[in-house]
Structure 1
Amino acid sequence: MLTAPLPMLARNVTHFMRLLRDAGFGLSPAHAVDALTALHHVDIGQRDEVRAALAALVLSGPDQRPLFDAAFDLFWRDPDWEGKLRAMLLPRVDAGAPPPKRSNRLADALAARQPAPPTPAEPPREERFTAPLTFSDQERLASRDFETLTADEWRALQHLVRTRRAHLALQRTRRLKPSATGTHADLRASARLAVRQHGEWLRWKFRRHARRKPPVVLLLDISGSMSQYSRAVLYFCHALMQGRERMHVFLFGTRLTNVTRALRERDPDEAVTLITEQVRDWAGGTRIGAALATFNRQWARRTLSGRATVLFVSDGIDLEQIDLLADEMARLRRFAHRIVWLNPLLRYAGFTPQARGIQAILPHVDALHPAHNLDSLFALEALLADTPAAAVPPMNQRQGRPHGNDPDPAPARAAAGSVGSAERRGAAQAMYPRM
């Protein structure tokens, strides 16, 4: 039985808790103190007892157990981190057995903890330089186009998305809930409080508008021209799903695939691996109209409820069945509360909607935004809230009129938006009645 922890052991335990925190565990410095206290009550000569004591402190769910076991074995058994790190990043097949699962989150944490190589001493010299308007590496990486990233920059981008938890802005609802302050006096609650206080109206009760997370449905194009952008959006959506956002995710290329359940995996790399195994048309052709028809008939009535917003991520390049695409976009507009189109082509300053597919989609969307870098994805956190600050100017105010001499589509969209949700829902049920 250990009576007092050694200084070296205390430093190692603290270092191990920092490693777990960098790997994605929600730990604080107090967990390191608790870990040192827990080691007073176990025999540190028994490896299983130490593992169980630390696991009881840091684990918050069964899905974290494999990552904890890998980190524990790697930290407390073999000091050769560099060799282990290479083995995790470059898995190999031994004697025909399948390669073990690797944890990129743990590999990133270990890489961040690697000591920098010593640099040769140089004679001191005086240098003067100015660096106005400099930015950090993360800020520069967040503004880079997804299609121009190298392999190292792509790994750094994935780590940046994992470490920054994204949360959508809350929507204000018409429902009222009890509140300590507010503009709506709750007479019944105030009267009940006065009865408990012997008839004295000493304090008033109030109610205020409740706020909720907005339901979101993502329709993501995974065709060949959207491959890099689709992968980045998937990592961002995984961060939203881990933040308990109300989201349904559908991928479409030549067919429609529901990947909502796969994105609920704790590790984003494992989630993307499951999706690539499930989706067969990744980086293939595009049939937007047929995919929207499948969604409208099979999923729209189940997912587009409660004032749901549709995030349509695509470049709009489709050469087949343009009339079908226009009809299905019109049907989707009747189902959805709002349609936000994220188009990577908006990264070009002189972009004009010349393609027939883009012209068929544009009249039915409420907002048009770029989706070519991480800054544009993080801007969605405030965009998806139904607030005046999130209002988006129409396309003809951004880049000129989209159809040349065509009339302004903004009044048509305003007229369509003035139709009640009950009327749109009734029209949608008439189009696709229950069988």
Structure 2
Amino acid sequence: MPYPDLPLPDDPKLVQNLTHFARALRKAGLAVGPGRVLTALQAVAATGFTTKPDFFWTLQACFVTRPEERLVFQQVFNLFWRDPRYMDHMMSLMLPAMRGVQDEQRAADAAKRAAEALLDGAEGPQTPTPETEDEGDTRIEIDASQTASAEEVLRSLDFEQMSTAEVAAAKRMLARLSLPVRPLKTRRLVADQTGRRADWRRTLRAAVRTGGEINTLARRRAATRWPALVVLCDISGSMASYSRMVLHFIHAVANQQGQGWARVHAFTFGTRLTNITRHLRARDADSALNAAGHEARDWQGGTRIGHCLHQFNRDWSRRVLGQGAVVLLITDGLDRDAPDLLAHEMERLHLSSKRLIWLNPLLRWDGFAPRAQGVRAMLPHVDTFRAAHSIASLEALAEALSDPADHGEKARLMTMLAP
């Protein structure tokens, strides 16, 4: 059914503008599809184009579904509909150094996402080539020789060696990764007609209703439950570039449905322990990690692994390590505390968890050896010892979780600890 004409004599291209606006919202992270664009057109046609606040609230009601999306929508709306020179304005937000202002505060997450969405594909004029000037030649040549290998190279590239553009691409790849887990069998039994065990109590109870005659045999099976994932991430100075990328991956795991984890708990530690679990519940990864960074005031500071593990074992282990929890410990093992304290707290953590996996970015070096006192104290008390310096190493973590016999590099390094 065609939509009625809108009273817009000054701008008769509202449909095209709304479509472009919806694309900008989609690139900024909002789940906007063609159906919502049609709904927005119907809503604007019903309400009319009277005042800009009415137009704003009408479009927000059509495009925004979550509270965290309101700020992004407001940024994109203000720059797209209210400022005709939004390109210049967005360039000023993204490149403040062009104005000579070196100490200008960085733009907010929503503003940067709006800038990337509105400026996507905006390029300067290109110099015509002889091929393009020839109107009779309609051949289109596409060089795709590097497209397949670029993502493969990025998968194996070290996080610390990535450029800004490569970090952004790596974050998008990490958001697509998953960390599935298998359910755990318990000693508790539940009714299941296809189960392997006979349920004599239910069978005899049913026989009472038929005068003692057993017509069917009730069965049951072992109940299953999903474990929790507990992440302890080192945010000291030597781990800053790696912990940021790993936390992006953990945020994606915490917000993906259907992976099997009962809950995902996240803690950061440097000189003190900080619980950032509630911050990871935000849908937007940048906002979640910025909020976690404000909460963890020891970011890029020193390292006291033994002291922080003592705080976790004392205050949090009984709350989050029940029901067969899996612990991911992300640290390089370079500790300033006494090795005896660290070994004792690692033993307590290992005994409290079903599986303790240590991810160490220093394993990227082929010649890595457990020479540091912290590494020597921690290594005997972990189940799996793996690297965490690239996207490929985090992808291999899913294989380690699915194989209980996987110990990574622990066996090889344990031979170096022998006197």
Determine whether 1:171 maps to 2:176.
no
Report deviation, 1:47.
Answer: 2.3
Tell me the secondary structure at the aligned position of residue 248 of structure 1: strand
**Residue matched to 2:352:** 335
Report deviation, 1:177.
Answer: 7.7
Report deviation, 1:326.
Answer: 0.7
Letter in 2 for 1:157: A
**Residue matched to 2:210:** none
Tell me the secondary structure at the aligned position of residue 416 of structure 2: coil
**Residue matched to 2:300:** 283
**Contact residue 177 and residue 210 of structure 1 kept, 8 A:** yes
**Residue matched to 2:93:** 88
Q: Could you tell me how far apart the structure 2 residues matched to 1:357 and 1:134 are?
A: 42
- Structure 1 gaps, min length 5: 193-200, 407-435
Letter in 2 for 1:4: D
**Contact residue 379 and residue 410 of structure 2 kept, 8 A:** no
Tell me the secondary structure at the aligned position of residue 403 of structure 1: helix
**Residue matched to 1:237:** 250
- Residues 360-413 of structure 1: CA distance to partner in whole angstroms, max 9, x if unpaired? 1111111111110123224434544xx4x464135355x46533546xxxxxxx
Report deviation, 1:110.
Answer: 2.5
Count of residue pairs the alignment pairs up: 386
- Residues 79-127 of structure 1: CA distance to partner in whole angstroms, max 9, x if unpaired? 4343232343357999x99887442332332232x3333321222499x
Q: Could you tell me how far apart the structure 2 residues matched to 1:27 and 1:207 are?
A: 46
**Contact residue 340 and residue 367 of structure 1 kept, 8 A:** yes
Counterparts in 2 of 1:36 and 1:133: CA distance versus 1, 3 Å: closer
**Residue matched to 1:146:** 159
Q: Could you tell me how far apart the structure 2 residues matched to 1:21 and 1:316 are?
A: 41
- Structure 2 gaps, min length 5: 133-138, 207-214
Determine whether 1:392 maps to 2:393.
no
Counterparts in 2 of 1:24 and 1:392: CA distance versus 1, 3 Å: same
Report deviation, 1:132.
Answer: 7.1
**Contact residue 219 and residue 249 of structure 1 kept, 8 A:** yes
Identify the range of structure 1 (276-285 vs 367-376) with the bigger mean alpha-carbon deviation.
Answer: 276-285
Report deviation, 1:55.
Answer: 1.7
Q: Could you tell me how far apart the structure 1 residues matched to 2:399 and 2:115 are?
A: 32
Q: Could you tell me how far apart the structure 2 residues matched to 1:262 and 1:10 are?
A: 38
Report deviation, 1:344.
Answer: 0.4
Counterparts in 2 of 1:186 and 1:116: CA distance versus 1, 3 Å: farther
Determine whether 1:38 maps to 2:43.
yes
Q: TM-score with structure 1 length normalisation? A: 0.75
Alignment root-mean-square deviation, CA: 3.9
- The 5 Å alignment of 1:353-372 reads 353-372=370-389
Counterparts in 2 of 1:19 and 1:177: CA distance versus 1, 3 Å: farther
- Residues 199-248 of structure 1: CA distance to partner in whole angstroms, max 9, x if unpaired? xx9xxx99888776531111111122111111112222222333366211
Q: Could you tell me how far apart the structure 2 residues matched to 1:206 and 1:60 are?
A: 45
Counterparts in 2 of 1:12 and 1:208: CA distance versus 1, 3 Å: farther
Selected match of 1:78 from 72, 83, 105: 83
Q: Percent of aligned pairs with the same residue?
A: 39
Tell me the secondary structure at the aligned position of residue 220 of structure 1: strand
**Residue matched to 2:235:** 222
Counterparts in 2 of 1:67 and 1:403: CA distance versus 1, 3 Å: same
- The 5 Å alignment of 1:8-407 reads 8-89=13-94, 101-103=108-110, 104-112=112-120, 114-124=121-131, 135-162=148-175, 164=176, 166=178, 168-174=180-186, 213-243=226-256, 246-381=263-398, 383-384=400-401, 387=402, 389=403, 391-395=405-409, 397=411, 399=412, 401-403=414-416, 405=418
Report deviation, 1:185.
Answer: 9.9
- Residues 42-76 of structure 1: CA distance to partner in whole angstroms, max 9, x if unpaired? 20233233322222222222222121111111122
**Contact residue 25 and residue 73 of structure 2 kept, 8 A:** yes
Q: Could you tell me how far apart the structure 1 residues matched to 2:142 and 2:28 are?
A: 37
Tell me the secondary structure at the aligned position of residue 402 of structure 1: helix
Letter in 2 for 1:237: I
Counterparts in 2 of 1:328 and 1:102: CA distance versus 1, 3 Å: closer
Letter in 2 for 1:171: P
**Contact residue 370 and residue 413 of structure 2 kept, 8 A:** no
Q: Could you tell me how far apart the structure 2 residues matched to 1:37 and 1:111 are?
A: 28
- Residues 318-343 of structure 1: CA distance to partner in whole angstroms, max 9, x if unpaired? 24301111111111111111101001
Letter in 2 for 1:22: K
Q: Could you tell me how far apart the structure 1 residues matched to 2:252 and 2:81 are?
A: 30
Counterparts in 2 of 1:341 and 1:38: CA distance versus 1, 3 Å: same
**Contact residue 350 and residue 381 of structure 2 kept, 8 A:** yes
Letter in 1 for 2:313: N
Q: Could you tell me how far apart the structure 1 residues matched to 2:68 and 2:93 are?
A: 19
Report deviation, 1:148.
Answer: 0.6
Tell me the secondary structure at the aligned position of residue 130 of structure 2: coil
Counterparts in 2 of 1:402 and 1:78: CA distance versus 1, 3 Å: farther
**Residue matched to 1:430:** none
